[in-house]
Amino acid sequence: MNMNFSDITAATPTPETLAAAYGAINARLDAGDIPGAVADWEQLRRETETWSSLTHLRFEQDTKDEAAKAARDYMDELNPTVTSHLVAFKRRLLNHPDRGAVQAVTGAHALRLWEMDVTTFDPIIEADLIEEAKLDSRYTALMASAKIEIDGETVNLSGLAPFTQSMDRDTRHRAEQAKWAFFAEHAEEFDEIYDSLVKLRDGMAKKLGFPSYTELAYRRMRRVDYDAADVARYRAQVLEHVTPLVAKLMEARRVANGWDKLYFWDESLTDPQGNPKPAGGHDFLVEQAQKMFDGMNAELAAFFRTMNENGFLDLKNRPTKAPGGFCTSFPTAGMPFIFANFNGTHHDIDVFTHEMGHAFQNYQSRDQPGFDYLWPTMESAEIHSMSLESLAYPHIHLLVGEAVADRYRRMHLTESLAFLPYGVLVDHFQHEVYANPGATPAERKAMWRRLERMYEPWCDYGDLAHPAKGGYWQAQMHIYGSPFYYIDYTLALCCALQFWVKSRADYDGALRDYVALCARGGEAPFQALVKSAGLISPFADGALADAVRQAESVLSLQ
Ligand code: ZN
């Protein structure tokens, strides 16, 4: 494991090299050599993925670098060609006369995933896909255009975050007023973009033969072992068990702060003494994170050391770096990479507790035989990241300091619980939206407000007119750009909370199960992975019961 990040290279594919590579792979398959053809195809996919991860990363690391930008644009242009080759070859394997021999090489799960993939793409929707991407970037550009004046400063929407979390109630209120004034000012454009997206997606689904976009979206997300009815049952569990718990937490916060009413702008101040922050900057945190992993598990510790020493971390904020944080990977090297922008808030800690979970899983499953098994589907991938956040609790004083460690754990647990009703609300709303694609923008806002009252009955927008009329969801990027994705976070969180419960009784046992789950990568569908880690499927009754009971006692709500 001596590979350095700077050693990783990848050739740039062209339409000609791709055509030649697929020509050779197809010829091998025609000659009856299934294992050889699949192995060559696997290698090609790994090389293409390493190239695309590197190209994406270099652009994010310096958005002003002209060469990196040009490479990124070229990749976006080549993408439809890559997809159509991929889909065509998956179709060939699925339709192979000796399906048993194909399955012996690829595994049954890969075939199920490809069966989903091939039904979601057809050249008849290519122009619609391009239009969908354009509408999504219009939304992103509109969001990025926000210039909000507050306390003599001009900030964008993410720059507003510290104001909305301020200790001063009036500052939080003014920050929310300024934010929602921006949405009210552009209300028509936010409505129009979404209305176009809904109709476009509904149209694509119908061209592909689905009754509505919901069925197509589930297939795009590769959900092979659950359906919309399972998800509806899960939402009902959150409504029954978690909504009342969060209502109690909000009421306790109101009383603790001596407010006569809890308003929307009070919801982001989780800790009345101010949300805990990391105890130091970049170098301090990297050093302390190593100590934390040393205390958790030998494999995690060794892996983090390699990431750090061999250049697979880029965590400091720089002026030309793209915002946000993510984990990506280079399958030809078997190593992941973590990108972040430290800003001194508790989000810096997420790099070590969340992104490291993704990275560790990817590394643990690097020797999985199939490309499709290197990462699992998203609801499973977020189990690895979210579970590590709570498995880090006993060591978190190393990052935040002894004095606030307990307050950090309370804040994290409270925010996790409060996320569940919101997450299922986002999901429920989208099911209604795509079941009624002809609804007007005003009808959609009424749908949201009705569901919001159901899942978050404490939510009081006071004088914030835009969200009070049902427009809150327009600030939730996933609803525009990643439809139906949001439930994945809540399904994973249900599993992460179960790991938390387990770790309170048997910390080493919980970590062992966690490490074993990471090594399985994406070799099985969601519910099979969950079961193998000794967890209850979120779709089964009682999946949230223990976590809710223990949270009530830890947070002294009983
Ligand atoms: Zn994640």
pLDDT along the chain (558 residues), means of 10: 88 98 98 98 97 94 91 88 93 97 96 96 88 88 89 87 90 96 97 98 98 98 96 97 95 92 94 89 97 96 97 90 88 95 86 95 94 96 97 97 95 95 98 98 98 98 97 96 96 97 96 97 97 96 91 84
Greatest extent of the chain over all pairs of C-alpha atoms, in Å: 78
Distance between Cα 25 and ligand 1 center (Å): 34
Q: Give the model's pLDDT for residue 274.
A: 85
**Ligand 1 geometric centre to CA of 135 (Å):** 25
153 bridge partner residues? 150
Q: How far is the CA of 324 from the centre of ligand 1 (A)?
A: 12
Using the mean position of ligand 1's atoms as its centre, give its distance from the Cα of residue 458 in Å.
Answer: 28
User: How much distance in Å is there from the Cα of 97 to the middle of ligand 1?
Assistant: 39
Cα separation, 466 vs 486, in Å, equals: 22
Residue 137's CB: how many other CB atoms inside 10 A?
A: 12
Amino acid symbol at 135: L
Residue ranges per structural domain of the chain: 5-118
SS3 at position 335: strand
- The alpha carbon of 494 and the centre of ligand 1 are apart by a number of angstroms equal to 14
C-alpha to C-alpha distance for 341 and 351, rounded to whole angstroms: 9
Distance CA 54, CA 58 (A): 6
Rounded to the nearest angstrom, the distance between the alpha carbon of 354 and the centre of ligand 1 is: 6
pLDDT of residue 558: 61
CA 366 to ligand 1 centroid distance, Å: 18
Burial class from Cβ neighbours inside 10 Å (0-12, 13-18, 19+) for residue 254 reads middle
DSSP 506: -
Please, which residues have CB within 8 angstroms of residue 361's CB and are 6 or more apart in sequence?
375, 376, 381, 384, 518, 521
Q: Output the pTM of the full model.
A: 0.94
CA 278 to chain centre: 23
* Residue whose token pair is 């509505």: 212
Q: How far is the CA of 355 from the centre of ligand 1 (A)?
A: 6
Q: How far is the CA of 121 from the centre of ligand 1 (A)?
A: 26
Residue 372 CA to ligand 1 center (angstroms) comes to: 18
Q: What's the 358 CA to ligand 1 centre distance in angstroms? A: 7
Q: So what's the pLDDT on residue 322?
A: 81
Distance 384 CA to ligand 1 centre (A): 8
* C-alpha 273 – ligand 1 centre gap (Å): 28
Q: How far is the CA of 86 from the centre of ligand 1 (A)?
A: 26
Question: Is the separation of the CB atoms in 329 and 53 below 8 Å?
Answer: yes
Query: How much distance in Å is there from the Cα of 382 to the middle of ligand 1?
Result: 5
pLDDT the model gives residue 87 = 94
CA of 387 to the centre of ligand 1 (A): 10
User: Which pLDDT value is given to residue 419?
Assistant: 97
What gap in Å lies between CA 464 and CA 449, rounded to an integer? 14
> What's the CA gap between 458 and 533, in Å, rounded?
35
CA 534 to ligand 1 centroid distance, Å: 21
531 CA from centroid of ligand 1 (Å): 21
Cα(388) to centroid(ligand 1), Å: 11
Between the CA of 260 and the centroid of ligand 1 the distance, in Å, is 37
Q: Are 408 and 422 in contact, with CB atoms under 8 Å apart?
A: no
* Residue 83 neighbours by CB distance under 10 Å: 14
